[in-house]
Amino acid sequence: MAERVINFFPGPCTLPLPTLEQAQREFLDYCDTGMSLWETSHRTTRYEEKIHNEAIRLMHEVFQIPEETHRVLLLGGGGTLQFAMIPMNLLGEGQFAEYIYTGHWAEKAINDAKLIGDARVIASGEDKGFLEIPKDYKVSPDARYFYYVANNTIYGTEHHSLPESGNVPLIADMSSNILSRPVDWSRIGLTFAGLTKNLGPAGMAVVIIRKDLLAENNRNLPKYLRYDIHDEHNSMYNTPPTFCTYMMKLFLEWTRDQGGVVQMDKNADLRANMLYETLDRLDDFYTCRIAKEDRSRMNICWELATEELENEFVAEAEKKGLYGLAGHFLFGHCRASLYNAMSLEGVERLCNFMEAFRKSHVG
């Protein structure tokens, strides 16, 4: 078996090694049943109680989600389906929603919402190349909801606090920074995340929705697209993605055992500060153009003098066991994704390589 590399891919991305090893041990024989969990009916107690319900319970526990106000749903379709499900369920006739445009994923959500109803962009970072988050805007008190992307994986910006929306329900796409810091749930109407960053493998989304929004859910939809139907059926309206739920449960157990979301917040600071310090100190060779107050802790982007030099950097890094450092095809350059399962030692190895690579080119 090849030695494991340091995985900086943006998603699917690195997972905690203990969760992978446990899944490996249990793959053929789950709980001494003589069969794999993937062969087991989702209606059995061993799945519904030990995996499905436990994953939902752990989500409440680890992310400190109050059960009296919010519900956790496990849905297929990844994060992308939520671009449409949110306006389908929440945006009624004669209503409008407001969006902040901070990059590619916000654009996808805006475009889907405009197919469904009145979706208005009240602020945009496009004129700044999405390298900073717009701040000069005000949410209309008459808006049905206000939608924002908490972390921009492609350009490397992040909201470090919840935007102000008054009494308007705040809708947050937390796909790439969920569980990386505590959240004030009294201010969240709905948030969602695909599993592929801080929760598990691709193939499912977690939706956390306030109960009053469930009660106001649009009923004139196919049942699979209704949040209230999924809630009534405990996220088992159809056969659920059992493997994703199982891996999410293991990931949440690992997160809890590491100290929970509070410790994940501290770890994110340590990792990001180490890499940004290296970039800023070596700014004669590496350039980070992201506004400092908006720099992402999850996805750190930088540039070198030429595309050829960036390609050489990525290729040489792979020879050192550092994978996934090429930027997104829409933006280019270089990027390191530092999600919750990334070790501090992995970032240290990257920083040491960056020092050595620079020295080999400038002396």
Q: Which residue has the tokens 């991305």?
A: 13
Query: Cα–Cα distance between 137 and 267 in angstroms, integer?
Result: 32
Of 146, 166, 48, nearest in space to 100 by CA: 146
Say if strands 118-124 and 170-173 run parallel, antiparallel, or are unpaired: unpaired
Q: CB count, 10 Å around CB of 239?
A: 10
Is the separation of the CB atoms in 202 and 176 below 8 Å? no
How many residues are there in the chain?
A: 363
User: Which residues, 6 or more positions from 304, have their beta carbon under 8 angstroms from its beta carbon?
Assistant: 285, 286, 287, 310, 313, 333, 334
Instruction: Name the strand (E) or helix (H) holding 89.
Output: helix 80-90
228 is known as an active-site residue: no
SS3 107: helix
Task: Name the residue with tokens 């540039």.
Answer: 303
Q: Are 196 and 202 in contact (CB under 8 A)?
A: yes
CB atoms within 10 A of CB 21: 11
Cα gap 324→301, rounded to integer Å: 12
| Annotated catalytic residue 38 | no
Selecting among 173, 228, 231, 294, the annotated active-site residue is: 173
User: Which one from 197, 249, 254, 302 is the annotated catalytic residue?
Assistant: 197
Residue in 29, 50, 105, 266 annotated catalytic? 105
* Residue for token pair 């994953």: 55
d(CA 260, CA 290): 29
Residues marked active site are found at 105, 173, 197
